């Protein structure tokens, strides 16, 4: 009879939260308040000009490194290089790790088969969690040595060498930055999305991206999807706010796609 020498241990003490920041003063303190259990938190800051760094200084377990932003992928991979622990908890600066998720992570044991864990999200509008959103699950907890980020449109995609599992608890996505900041960020994102949609072969695009590439349909589909299919209409004005926000983002993408087509025709 073979006896395994593999000892399963808790991964909770082996986790380092990793966060990217740039002018996240409206968000970062609420995020850090839910991470005080971590021995070390690594933050990669893109030279914030607001009070972000002042807020971070009040948390002694935080290690801050500054790097000029070029792409999300390179920023995240730089962050991974700074992490010394075996496991990484990858978070945006407006992610709230709920008490339920913390309790669930505490029960996780090391497993040869599992290299990462997906988590689902509840989108919040001014602190109110909505019934549904278009946010897909994201692999936020993973083994550092088996992971690397790659480009995916305006954002990044995590590649893990190994199997993954799904956690049952949620992260709250609760961005309190101003509407003008959101608009500025969305315009930057959509420039990258245009590049992805126009340079990726049609047979490699998802159904959702194929719809977005049509330019006309997506803004209307997203309103129906959020309000009716996801139940956003029951959330009142919070739900309408989110539906209009996402519809505007899709409309901005449509305008950018049309802009590129017209520019190419005139050249």
The answer, yes or no, to whether residue 4 has pLDDT greater than 90, is no
> Does any domain span residue 237?
yes
> Does any domain span residue 77?
yes
Of the residues 132, 158, 173, the one at which a domain ends: 173
189, 139: one domain: no
d(CA 83, CA 261): 43
> In angstroms, what CA-CA distances link 257 with 41, 45, 104, 185?
39, 31, 43, 17
> Does any domain span residue 68?
yes
Of the residues 134, 157, 173, the one at which a domain ends: 173
39, 146: one domain: yes
How many CB atoms neighbour CB 96 within 10 A?
23
Do strands 62-66 and 41-45 pair parallel, antiparallel, or not at all (unpaired)? Answer: parallel
pLDDT band at 156 (very low <50, low <70, confident <90, very high): confident
Per-residue pLDDT tens digits for 249-266: 999 999 999 999 998 888
Beta carbons within 8 Å of 196's beta carbon, 6+ residues apart:
152, 153, 154, 209
Of the residues 149, 173, 197, the one at which a domain ends: 173
> Does any domain span residue 195?
yes
CATH of the domain at 110: 3.90.550.10
19, 124: one domain: yes
Residue with the bigger pLDDT between 156 and 250: it is 250
165, 90: one domain: yes
156, 249: one domain: no
Per-residue pLDDT tens digits for 191-245: 889 988 999 899 888 888 999 999 999 999 999 999 999 999 999 999 999 999 9
Residue 9: predicted pLDDT: 84
- The enclosing H or E element of 37 equals none
Beta strands in the chain (DSSP E): 15-21, 41-45, 62-66, 87-92, 95-97, 114-125, 128-129, 138-143, 147-152, 155-160, 163-173
Cβ atoms 11, 109 nearer than 8 A: yes
61, 150: one domain: yes
User: What's the mean pLDDT in 26-53?
Assistant: 97
27, 108: one domain: yes
> Does any domain span residue 3?
no
> Does any domain span residue 120?
yes
Q: For the chain, what is the domain count?
A: 2
132, 84: one domain: yes
Cβ atoms 91, 121 nearer than 8 A: no
d(CA 154, CA 192): 5
> Does any domain span residue 4?
no
Residue span of the structural domain in which 255 resides: 179-266
């Amino acid at each position: 009879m073979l006896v395994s020498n593999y000892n399963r241990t808790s991964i909770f003490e082996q986790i380092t939260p990793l966060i990217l920041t740039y002018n996240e003063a409206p968000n970062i303190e609420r995020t850090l308040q839910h991470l005080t259990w971590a021995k070390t938190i690594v933050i990669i800051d893109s030279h914030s000009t607001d009070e972000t760094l002042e807020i971070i200084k009040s948390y002694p377990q935080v290690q801050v490194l500054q790097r000029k932003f070029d792409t999300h992928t390179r920023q995240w991979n730089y962050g991974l290089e700074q992490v010394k622990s075996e496991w990484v908890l990858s978070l945006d600066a407006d992610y709230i790790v709920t008490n339920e998720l913390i309790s669930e992570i505490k029960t996780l044991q090391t497993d040869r088969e599992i290299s990462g864990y997906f988590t689902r999200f509840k989108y919040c509008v001014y602190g109110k969690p909505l019934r549904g959103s278009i946010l897909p699950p994201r692999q936020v907890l993973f083994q550092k040595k088996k992971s690397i980020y790659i480009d995916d449109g305006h954002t990044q995609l995590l590649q893990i060498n190994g199997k993954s599992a799904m956690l049952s608890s949620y992260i709250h996505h609760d961005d309190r930055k101003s509407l003008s900041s959101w608009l500025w960020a969305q315009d930057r994102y959509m420039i990258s999305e245009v590049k992805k949609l126009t340079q990726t072969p049609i047979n490699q695009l998802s159904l959702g991206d194929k719809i977005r590439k049509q330019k006309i349909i997506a803004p209307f589909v997203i309103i129906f999807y959020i309000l009716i299919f996801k139940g956003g209409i029951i959330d009142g004005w919070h739900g309408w706010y989110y539906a209009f926000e996402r519809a505007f983002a899709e409309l901005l993408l449509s305008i950018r796609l049309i802009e590129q087509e017209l520019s190419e025709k005139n050249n």
